[in-house]
Each structure stands twice: as structure tokens, then as C-alpha cells.
Structure 1
């Protein structure tokens, strides 16, 4: 018999074609078995074998593989095209107790969320319809907020300080009903209320707390200006102290200083926390002294008549892409006088005779302390963005399980989620949703600890972590909303199925509370600071401590043996996954530090930063992905229920390997992953997508979002098409 390579290839092709068109096609082996067989029969994967085997060995291995295709054991198996293999894969499905998984996910705040759901279920008149005007939506949003506070007895303001975790859980539930309502509630309690309490002192708490809590004092957070958003230190609004009348005079010096996009300003707000430069008179040649940006309580409307107060000019920012239930306005001030006591004076105060005092020695220190107290907004946005992603993934997954299309000849149609392409779109997204859930829960825990201890290092840690998670999660969710819409085809385009409103309402999450590009630069800057301190013997923040523990390990040359390991157990080992993420971050950090040092010599610090900006943004994203994976792994290990833990492990492995594969070029360039290992990662991530598909219904049900909250007909637990047709009039 001729066993030359050319003859073997011809025979193999003939047999594959005959099997492909054969009527008798036994079931193929499961994907893990197939992967294991390939690994065990592959000489390159033997760690004891030399990496530089000769060409003759390579030829022998190729012949061995080709011969295996002709073995009697393979003659009865079909040659199924790779893109269809997962459809026919008969793998054991994990049994998931949805109730136990949901309890683990939502924990002690589940009852608070259900209280919100039950209230709106009892008040269908407060659910916003598909078609609603801007003005009607604003009024509905205000009625929703008042109903929650005064009818349902949900008083979120006290929770902002006493139990932030519970407050954010309520925010997530409220956002599931209407994102505009969640933002309006955040403006009232996190921003307006939070600024008064966090930046003020006892006199402000005594005067304003109850009114803010009951919404008797609806207010605004007037920081952003027409020409200045992220650059808060560059704000131009001024507050000059008048020692004769013991007042501050608030002025908008030019059109660029008009306060813009101020939530609650256009219609409902009666007060505003205005951020302005504090100007004090002096007896020197200059005549005044700029003490930096401070916050002031400024009444903008009469408490009884609701008329705009003298010197205050308010205009409506108009119809927006989304969030039209929030009344954004623009504010201009012309010599508006307020009492000296309206200065929020926790970090800096002015006495009756115009003397300035502060426990912090510099403008930069005071500014950093002020922003540190306002970080709760970013924390809330990161967590709320995950809530939006849960809704979208639930709708797309349930529809994909329901919708059937095409299938084998003369066989029933199959669910579109059985197609590998649909699994590729949605299952890594479902896994990421779980990853983000646990990462943002960790952020809330750190934030709660920070509020209790006021530890300086923890404040810095939370500031950087909240910036990174807010930027990463909101960007991911924004992209995913479009993918979910497309995954549901034409039905995803129907407004009643919510993708349009979710996408439009969420879009601004990428911009407010800090533009995402700017926030990722903050993460990169903090990493560089920690990198520098690491080599100077300094203390690293908690979030970055893996740099201290393992920087040298991660930056050493990759092990040529482990770079080739492609066994399933190895690829699903949390240590391999986390090491891969951290190795990438460490290399990016080291390389950008070298580049910055080189370019600074010729371009200066600003020019060097700008030259390396894309590199810095990639570094920030890489680090945040490392944190997300670490928290997901911890959550899997802590899960007490075995079935839930197995499901979470599946999702965690898919998240990790999918992210590694999406950036496989980085690992290949430095030989961290050999070609055969890269191929194994890709195949295993595809298989894990199939496995997660098997428990997709249970995973989305564990979010525990009732049908009356989801409100998309194509996502109903039962009779989805019936409800859909009834909606259009059949």
C-alpha cells in the first residue's frame, strides 16, 4: 500500500467527502473529548519533548496524524464541518438551581429590589409608555420619584451614607423600570444631596437633610460648564466674597462658563450646588486671591411660587438622544448673592472678616479631597450600567432561545441560539455580565469601607478603581446594546422590545461623571505612579498589589514549555488565566514607562503623554480586565452551592479565554502563547460558549428580572409571540 503523504491526503479527502454526504452519521465525540484526544496525540504538547525537534520528526508527526484519519476507529465517524460541530455535540448539561444562584448574586439586598418591582407592578400608570413626549416624560419621572419616596416609603437618601450597597441595589432596580428615573434619583440624592452632606458640615446637614430626603428640596449639581467638563479645575464661574455684606457673589463671567447639562435645572430644581472659583479680597497689589474651586448652595427658584430668582437665568437644554425624563438645563448667574454660610466648608472655610482656613495645605490637596468625596456617582454609574446590560442580555437570550430558524434537511427548525454565530455574539456577553456584576459589587464594598474609615490610601484606590470600572463597563455595555439589537433581527428594532430606548438612554453613561477616555488615563496615571513607587520601596494601593507581588515574574521571559501547554485543565486553571491577564498589563506598563521617559526628553511631559496616549488607554483597559477577572474568580470560589459554582466557573472560564483570544496577537508577539496553544484557546472558548448556551436560560433567569420590569414581549417567559401580536393589534 502506498503510504506517501500525497496518497494519504487524497485518501483522506475521498473519505471525508463520502462521510459528509452519507445518510448514516453517528454522533461525534463531545468537544472536550475531541480536544483531549488531539492534545494527547500531539507530540508537541509533551512538555518533555524538545521544542526544536528536527524536520524529520515534524514530517513523521504529520504522517501519524494523516494515518489516524484512516484508522478503522474513524471510518464510522462523520467529518462534520467545524462550524456545525457544536450544534451536534452531545455534552452533559449542568443542572443549575436558579433560585440559589439568584440568592448568591443578589444577596441581602434582594428584598429591597423586589419592593421597588412590586410598587411599580401595583402602579402600571407610572410605567412610561413606548411613545411619550419630552415634557410628559419629565412629569412622569417626577411622579415616579415622589411615588417611591412618599407612597412606597423607599427613602434612598439615608442609605447613601448608612448603607451604600443597599442604595445602589435600589438604583439598579429603579433603572430597570426607567433609566431616566434612576438618573433623576441619582441627581437628587447622590449629586445634589451627596454634595451638600459630603462637602458641607453639620449646619448644612441640619438645614437641608430632611428636605432633600423628602424631595421637598429638589436640587441640581452644577459643575459642568459649556467650555469645561472633565477639567473641573479649569472652571470659570466665580464666587467673590463681599466682607461688607458677609455674602458671596456668584457670577458667570462669559458664555463659556454657563453651567450646562445640569439635571433637574430645566423644570424641577429649587437649589443648585454650584462649583465656582472662590475669590477673596486682599490688601496687596493684586487685590484678590483665587483659592481654587469650591462648592456653594445657590437657590435658583422661589420655594412657594417656583419662579426663577433674580440674577438666575435658566434655559432648557432641549430634546436629547435619550434620558428625556431628566430635565437638563443651562444656568447663568449675574451677581447672585448668597449667605457666607452657603459655602460647603468641609475642606475650606471663610470667616466673617474674610480669612480663609483649611486643614489641607494646598489648592491641589483640597481639590483632590473634594473630588474624592464625589466618587459615589461613578460607582453608581458602573453598577447601573451592569443593570442595563442584564436587561439587554436577558431579552436577546430569551428571544434567541424562542426563535427557531432553519435546521437539518427534513428536520424541525432549531433555536437560533443553537447556531455558533449567535452563541459567539451573546454567550461571552452573558459571561461578561456576570464578571462585571461581581467586579462592581467589589467596588461598592470598597466604597462603603472608604466612607466609614476615610482611609487616605483607600480613597485613592477607590478613585482609580471607580474611574476604570465606570469607563470599561459603560463602553462595553454601549457596544453590547447594539449587538443585542442585531441578534434579535427585525423584532429587535421594534421600540416595544426596548433595545432602542435602552441604547439611547445608556449612551450618555460613557460621558457623564467623567469622559471614559479621560477616566482611563487616570487609571494609567495611577498605575505609573504605583510602578514608580514600587521601585522606590513605596507602598502600593490594594488594587494594584499584584504589581508588587509578581512584577518580576510577569516581566521575565515566557516559559517555552508552558507556552505550549494546551490541555483543557491547564487552560481552565484560574492561575493560568489570571497570570496571562497580569502578564499583559505588566508588559504594557513597563513598555509605556520606557516610552514616556524617552519622549519626555524631546517633547516634554505633556507631549510625551500625548504621543503615548493610545498605549496608555490600552494599559488602563488591560489592568481593569485583570481586576474584573480576579474578582470573578474569587466569586466562583466563594459560591457555596455546587451547581451554581459550576455554572459560574463555566462563565468565568469563557470570559477569561474569550478575552485572551481577542488579544491573542499581544501574547503571540512575545511568545507567551505558542501557535498550537492559541488554537486550543480559540477552540475551547467556542466550546465553552456552547456549554454556557446550555444553561443560558438559567443564567439570565438568575438575574430575577420580572416580566413586568423587562416589558419586552419577545423576552416573556411564556407566550411571547402572543403578547407581541396583541401589542400590534391582532
Structure 2
């Protein structure tokens, strides 16, 4: 990714999205049939979730997969233009298969003999001939066209016209259809199955947060090196000084340099949690990873996108030359704020989970979190004193990492208490959705404050750990 972000995204689609969906949403039969050939690129594929009219709201996807009990097949259909699968990486040129997310429809199994909609499920759909690479019958593929960046990724649009696939092509880890058309699942509701399905796909967010830190490191390194070498003005009749010696330039670059370090340790923590989730399959750890990956992906990618522009400005006219990479980095990274979840939507998920834990705590229940990440945070938020009134304001205290972390957590505590009170007040007149919308900016600030507290805690921990190692 540090060399070519487009290549990194194509690899991510192949192994994390297409391959990951088969491994994580399928069962033994799918792994045995597809794993090796996905791994060696004999089966290049894509991940067909997003539709023209639905991106973040996955539960409202319109593509259908209707079971035909006569032929023991699913029929994949695009019912209207808004349901065309859109922005599908690897689809326009290279993909031979697609994991298609569609509404599972079972005929005659609803009320009054109506079709039953079992919610969103994932299906393996061949889209090109394995030998000739010709597009298969019933499938229409178009290129999404030239983009702002990432033009090394072949984003395509997919339309399905009564495309038949075997019943075995349903990725059936969380829900299955028998030969007689009977539906079974270990999870009792559509919402539980949907949550479990999306929970297995958080690896993409982990990868984006990780990659975004790498992009920030590249941009900041270029800008800092330039600032050290470029000389401009200085005292009369004396040599010009480095641009980095100017206070204004330090205020631009040094916070970004420090943030690159802080984000590095936060992403390492996220990867450790993700690894633990994959080893244990613990539901509580999965929920924790979902929240943290949503928050870090959103916060880091937004910060990096802004920082690339500041780095470009910091290099003056030379920063505008394509050879110095800022344009390419900015354009290729910009979409990181949107795919694998729009950043504003992801921050709302973080705020929603904080409020859920807050509510459970006040009901006297135990926190349903096994990781220290949220359990300790919530305990701190509910009891955090005001660190400014509790301490002297001398330099030693202001530079004390414990004071700084207390201050961050106190801010989050105040935001959490106040937004909970506001929501409760507005729900009486506006209802749940209206109250949420009325308090939306407050909720986003809460989520960002929480993530900043987490990043700072991990940074302080890492500094202590490495300082101890250096001493010993």
C-alpha cells in the first residue's frame, strides 16, 4: 500500500472481502471447494454488497435470491436500476466470481402462502467463464468509469437477470435452506443473523485503519524531510534557516508526527483484539472489535485525509508536483472515508454502543464486555472527577500523562451524561429517531472523544513500555 494503494485494494478485495466472505460466512464444503483456488488466484473474485441506492444501509438491499424447490436452485435477480450492484472492485475486468448479498426469498412460506423474506444472506455467484473469461448468461457487467483516485481498481456494476445458482452456493454459516425449502438457523431472528453476518466482515475496517496509518506515515515523512532541507529567510546577513525552525511550521507538522506514532500503537491494539476474536469466536469480543474498528477506521481515515492536504501545503509549490506523491496519496486515500462504512455512520455505531453500555450500567446489570477496552472505559466515564478542579494547574501536573488521560476521559464522561439526558428529554416529543437526529452532532462528538481517549491510553501505555525496555 505504501507503493501502490490500488494494488493493495485489489489484494484486499481478493483475500479479505471475496476470500474472507467465503471462509467466514461459508461452511466446510465452501472452504474445501474454494479456499486453495482463491489463495492461488485461480478464482479471482469480488464482493457485491453495495447497490446504486444502498451503501451503508445494508439491511435495505433490494437484490433478491429466490429459492426454486423444483430445480433446487436460487434465482438471483436485480429488480430495478437502484438495485444494481455498484462500485464492485475486481468486477469490471478480473473477477470470475462474486459474493452477492441479497434478500433470501422462500416461496409460499410466508403468511397466507405469500413468499417469506428471510433477510440478507450471501451467495457465491459465478460471473465469468473460467476458461474463456466471457461474461456468463443473465449477467451484465459495466465499468463504473474514471474515478478521483484508485484507478488501478476495476470497479464495476453488476446486474442479474434470473441467474440460477446451485443451493450449495448459499454461504450458510448463519442460515441454511434444505432440499425441501425449509429454513434453519442457529440464530432466532433476522436482526441477529444480520449482525452475525456483518460482524464477520470487520476485517476490512481493521485493514483500512491499519493502511491509513501507513499513508499518514508516508505523507508526514515526506513533509518533515522537506521542511528540514528547505531553507527560507532568517536573521539579516545570516544564512537562511530551515522551514521546520519556524514555530508555525512546527505547529503544522509535529501534531501529525505525534499522531502517526499514537495511531501506530492504537492499530496494533486493534489487530491484537481482532486476532483474539478470530481465535475465540467469543460474541462479546466480536462486539467489542466491531465498535473499536468502526471508531478507529473513522477517526484515523478522516484525520489522514486532512493531514495529506496540510503536508502538501507545507511543501509549497514542490508539493504540487505529482512526483512528490501528495496528489496520488490524497486521491487514492480519500475513499477510505467512505468504503467499509461511511465515517459518519460508523461514529454513530460507536455512540450507540456507548449509550447501550451506559444504560445497562444504570439498570444494575453487568457490562456485556470481556475486554478491558470498553469495560474499563465505561467504569471510568461513570466515576471520572473533574481533573482540573481536583489538581493544581502547575506545569508538572499539566505534563503528567495521567492528568492528560483523566482530562480526555472527563470530557467523554460529560458528553456521555449530557447526551443521554438530552435523548431522554427529546424522545418524549420526537420519538427515538427524531431524538437521535436532534442530538446527532452531540453523538458524533461523543464518539470522537471516546476514540481519542482510547488512542491516548494506548499511546501512554506504549511510551511507558518502551521507556521501561530502554532503561532495563
Distance 1:457 1:561 in 2: 35
Q: Give the secondary structure class of the aligned counterpart of 2:47.
A: strand
Match of 2:27 among 195, 201, 216: 201
Work out whether 1:294 is the aligned partner of 2:121: yes
Q: 1:214 to 1:380 in 2, by over 3 A?
A: same
Could you tell me how far 1:282 is from its partner in structure 2?
2.1
Q: Deviations over 1:536-559 (max 9, x none)?
A: 2333333222344333432x5566
**Contact in 2 for aligned 1:547/1:586 (Cα 8 Å):** no
C-alpha displacement of 1:423: 0.3
Counterpart of 2:221 in structure 1 is 394
User: Match of 2:393?
Assistant: 565
Q: Distance in 1 between matches of 2:365 and 2:55?
A: 33
Per the alignment, do residues 365 and 474 of structure 1 end up closer, same or farther by CA in structure 2, a change over 3 Å counting? same
Contact kept? 2:230, 2:242, Cα under 8 Å? yes
State the match for 1:37 in structure 2: none
Q: Structure 1 residues 398, 335: CA separation in 2 closer, same or farther (over 3 Å shift)?
A: same
1:213 aligns with 2:77: no
How far the C-alpha of 1:577 sits from its partner, in A, is 0.7
Matches within 5 A, 1:45-194: 175-194=1-20
Q: Which runs of 5+ in 2 are unaligned?
A: none
Q: Unmatched 5+ residue regions in structure 1?
A: 1-174, 646-730
Q: Secondary structure at the match of 2:35?
A: helix
Q: SS of the residue aligned with 1:177?
A: coil
**Residue correspondences, number:** 468
The question of 1:234 aligning with 2:64 is answered: no
Q: CA RMSD in A?
A: 1.4
Distance 1:642 1:340, change over 3 A: closer
**Structure having the higher Rg:** 1
Other structure's SS at 1:338 match: strand
Deviation of 1:570 after TM superposition, in Å, equals 1.2
What's 1:29 paired with? none
TM-score, with length taken from structure 2 = 0.97
Equivalent residues of 1:265, 1:314 under 8 A apart: yes
**In structure 1, distance between residues paired with 2:345 and 2:77:** 28
Instruction: Name the SS of the counterpart of 2:148 in structure 1.
Output: coil
1:531-585, Cα deviation, whole Å (9 max, x unpaired): 001112333333222344333432x5566362x5122x21221110110000000
- Residues 387 and 406, structure 2, Cα contact 8 Å, conserved in 1: no
Pick one of 285, 295, 302 that aligns with 1:458. 285
- 2 CA distance for matches of 1:366 and 1:339? 22
Partner SS for 2:103: strand
CA distance in 2, matches of 1:644, 1:507: 41
User: Would the aligned equivalents of 1:533 and 1:539 in 2 still touch at CA under 8 Å?
Assistant: yes
1:328-355 per-position Cα deviation (integer Å, ceiling 9, x unaligned) = 0000000000000000000000000000
Hey, what's the Cα distance between the residues in 2 that align with 1:286 and 1:596? 42
Aligned to 1:411: 238
Q: 1:359 aligns with which of 182, 186, 191?
A: 186
Q: Secondary structure at the match of 2:2?
A: helix
Partner SS, residue 389 of structure 2: coil
Q: Which residue of 2 aligns with 1:593?
A: 420
Work out which of the residue numbers 332, 338, 363 in structure 1 matches 2:165. Answer: 338
State the alpha-carbon separation in 1 of the partners of residues 124 and 231 from structure 2: 58
Q: CA deviation at 1:409?
A: 1.0
2:441 to 614, 623, 627: 614
What is the deviation of 1:287?
2.4
Secondary structure, counterpart of 2:403 in structure 1: helix
Q: Which residue of 1 aligns with 2:83?
A: 257
Distance in 2 separating the partners of 1:292 and 1:413:
67
CA positional deviation for 1:617: 0.4
Note if contact 1:192-1:272 (Cα within 8 Å) is conserved in structure 2.
yes
Of 284, 305, 309, 1:478 maps to 305
**Is 1:544 aligned with 2:381?**
no
2:75 alignment partner, SS class: strand
Report the CA distance shift for 1:305/1:624 in structure 2 as closer, same or farther (over 3 A): same
Match in the other structure for 2:154: 327
Distance 1:561 1:213 in 2: 57
- Separation (CA, whole Å) in 1 of partners of 2:411 and 2:181: 54
Question: What are the Cα deviations for residues 581-627 of structure 1, in whole angstroms up to 9, with x where unaligned?
Answer: 00000100000000000000000000000000000000000000000
The residue aligned with 2:131 is 304
Q: CA deviation at 1:176?
A: 0.6
Query: Contact conserved, 2:298 with 2:344, CA < 8 A, in 1?
Result: yes
In 2, are the aligned partners of 1:225 and 1:257 still within 8 Å (CA)? yes
1:18-61 residue CA offsets vs partner (Å, 9 max, x unmatched): xxxxxxxxxxxxxxxxxxxxxxxxxxxxxxxxxxxxxxxxxxxx
1:347 aligns with 2:167: no
2:353 corresponds in structure 1 to 526
SS in 1 for 2:112: coil
User: Which residue in the other structure is 1:28 paired with?
Assistant: none
User: Is the CA contact (8 Å cut-off) linking 1:233 and 1:293 kept in structure 2?
Assistant: yes
1:477 CA displacement: 0.1
The one of 427, 449, 467 equivalent to 2:254 is 427
8 Å contact from structure 2 (residues 381, 412) kept in 1: no
Map 1:700-715 to 2 at 5 A.
none
SS in 1 for 2:71: coil
Tell me what 2:69 maps to.
Answer: 243
Once the two structures are TM-superposed, the CA of residue 315 in structure 1 deviates from its matched residue by 0.4
